[in-house]
Amino acid sequence: MKHFLASLLAGIGAFTGILCLAYFDHSVWNATLLMAPFGATAVLVFGLPKSPLAQAKNVILGHLITAFIGVFFVQYVGVGVWQLALASGLGVTSMLFTKTTHPPAGANPILIMLSGQSWLFLLTPVLAGSIIIVLLGKVVREAQTRLSAELN
């Protein structure tokens, strides 16, 4: 029963996180807050919150570092087969070197390069979206902790 409830809370957390980003993206702010890698981020943050890969530092900095690389390539290097591969490799190396590994962020250089994003993309959706997911993750983690204590 505890496993079912923890799974359900993780799903509700992921639902709430993506819903908030999508809602604010289209209804409240005139800024993009949602990007595809956040779906995978939600799996880690809400489903495996104790994983080192799901910690706030990893989520936020992992996304920022790899997004920076993607935008840098769009602005200064170019987008092609070799550039996509190089940016992806640099993203992996950078996250591992800085100890901010967050696997969903590995998609950022490809996403950013193929869609031709600018420096503003680092603020929205990358930074703002990452922070919102991390904060909601903390709320869900607290709810899971309380529920677990009540069941014991």
| pLDDT tens profile 34-86 | 999 999 999 999 999 999 999 999 999 999 999 999 999 999 999 999 999 99
Residue 130 has pLDDT above 90, yes or no: yes
Q: Report which residue type is found at 21.
A: L
φ and ψ of 72, to 5 deg: -55, -45
Q: Report which residue type is found at 101.
A: T
| pTM attached to this predicted model | 0.94
Residue 147 has pLDDT above 80, yes or no: no
Q: Distances in Å between the alpha carbon of 5 and those of 55, 93, 146?
A: 22, 37, 12
Stretch (H or E) spanning 59: helix 56-72
**Greatest C-alpha distance within the chain:** 56
pLDDT the model gives residue 125:
95
DSSP state, residue 51: S
Give the end-to-end CA distance of the chain in Å, rounded to a whole number.
Answer: 12
